[in-house]
Each structure stands twice: as C-alpha cells, then as structure tokens.
Amino acid sequence: MTIKLEKKIVDYSVVKVEEEAAAAAAESAAAKVSEMADVIHMHEKLQRPEMLLGSTYKIKTPLSEHSLYVTINDVVLNPGTNHELRRPFEIFINSKNMDHFQWIVALTRIISAVFRKGGDVTFLVEELRSVFDPRGGYFKKGGKYMPSLVGEIGDAIECHMRMIGLLKDDGLDEHQQALLAEKRAQFESAAAQAESKGESGDFPAGSQLCAKCNTKAAIQMDGCMTCLNCGDSKCG
C-alpha cells in the first residue's frame, strides 16, 4: 500500500514491541471501562419491567391447616450480554389463613425493599432463619428443623437464591460423598424398617438433629456422630 506524504519528514523514531503491547493493553482497558459504564446494576430507582420471571414455593406447616405460597419475582439485568444477571426484585406471600396477614404483608414489603436496594441481599436468609418461635419449632418433610414460620420463609428464599445462582452450594468433596454413601448403605435396612412402621423422612429412624444443617440426620457411627445430610462429623 502506497502512502503519500503531504509534509516534509522532520523526525522519526522506532516503536518498540513493548510500547505497542502497552498501547494495546491501554486501549483494551479503556474499552472495558467504557463497556462497564453501560452495565446496569441493581438499585432502588430501577423501574419495574412490565414482565418479571417468578417462582412460587409452597410451605405447609403443622401450625396451620392452610399452606403458604411464597412467590419471588426476579428482574433480568443486562439481558443478552456477558453481564446478564438474574436478581430477586419482589416477594409475595399468600394464604387462606388470615391470622398472620398483617405481619406477613409488612414482612414482604420490607424484604422487597431490601431486594430493590441492591448489593448483597443474601444476609436476609440468616436473619430470617434465626427467628425462633417461643412455642417451639417443627420438622419439615425430610427431617429438617424449622425454628419458626419466619425461618421457613427464609429457607424458601435461600432455595430460590441458590436456584438463580446468587448463593453457591459448596457441596461435598469425593471423599465425603463416598463416606456418606457407605453410611447410607449400612443403614438401608434400618430405613426400610422405619418406612414399614409408617415413619416418614429420608434418613434412618432415631437420627438426631445435626447442629450444622438443622436436619434430623445425625447417626452414631464408629464411635462418633456423623450427619448423613451434610457430612458433619465429630471425628473430623
């Protein structure tokens, strides 16, 4: 390609490879900054879209003959880009039982306001699950202990946050999974006996409450208590 010079050459310099690389890096960084400037983050002034994605969770407790239905609607931020995120935007709780109507409406409005505020909203789970009913808690299906109705609402929110990726499930490593599989195999007969007696649950009869995951799944094995749900063991 021929380039015609309109002016006289008065000076020249050789561009080094390092300088070219530095210039390219600076240009790339500037492009990323420009791209991030267009990224929409969750904040309280974000307008509610006409349509939101939502999930509904059914809560059936021994405290009432009527179930509660927890609906959490999510907003999708930056759709179709590398920065696409799904975040909770609002929550509704419905039930035929009107005994708790007043405080449930207040709770849903406060939680929805926290959702729309943005930032890290995962703290809501522990705050709600740490509420204890003075009359005592109860075990939900599967043997997990719920300290209160508010605590189970927090459990439903945690389940939703894990579903949309806001909370990460640490899970168990291969060694822990193999250990739990061995423990479960040893207790299959006991579980079958419990089922024949009409006892519900996914874990053996006589299991104790695990202090770590609040599930009735801790059994005495090899001289120490081991949880068949989360793998917590007094033996380390």
Question: Would you give the DSSP letter of residue 48?
Answer: P
The model's pLDDT over 171-227, given as tens digits with 9 standing for 90+, comes to 666 776 777 777 777 766 665 665 655 445 567 767 888 877 888 888 877 667 888
Query: For position 222, what pLDDT does the model report?
Result: 67
Q: Which two tokens stand for residue 78?
A: 């930056």
Distance CA 94, CA 98 (A): 9
Assigned token pair, 27: 């240009």
Q: Residue 235 pLDDT > 90, yes or no?
A: no
Task: Render pLDDT for 125-144 as a digit per residue (tens, 0 to 9).
Answer: 999 999 999 988 998 888 88
- Render pLDDT for 8-50 as a digit per residue (tens, 0 to 9): 777 767 666 666 666 666 666 555 544 455 788 888 888 999 9
- In percent, the amount of the chain with pLDDT more than 90 equals 35
Cβ of 203: how many Cβ atoms within 10 Å? 23
Start-to-end Cα distance in the chain: 72
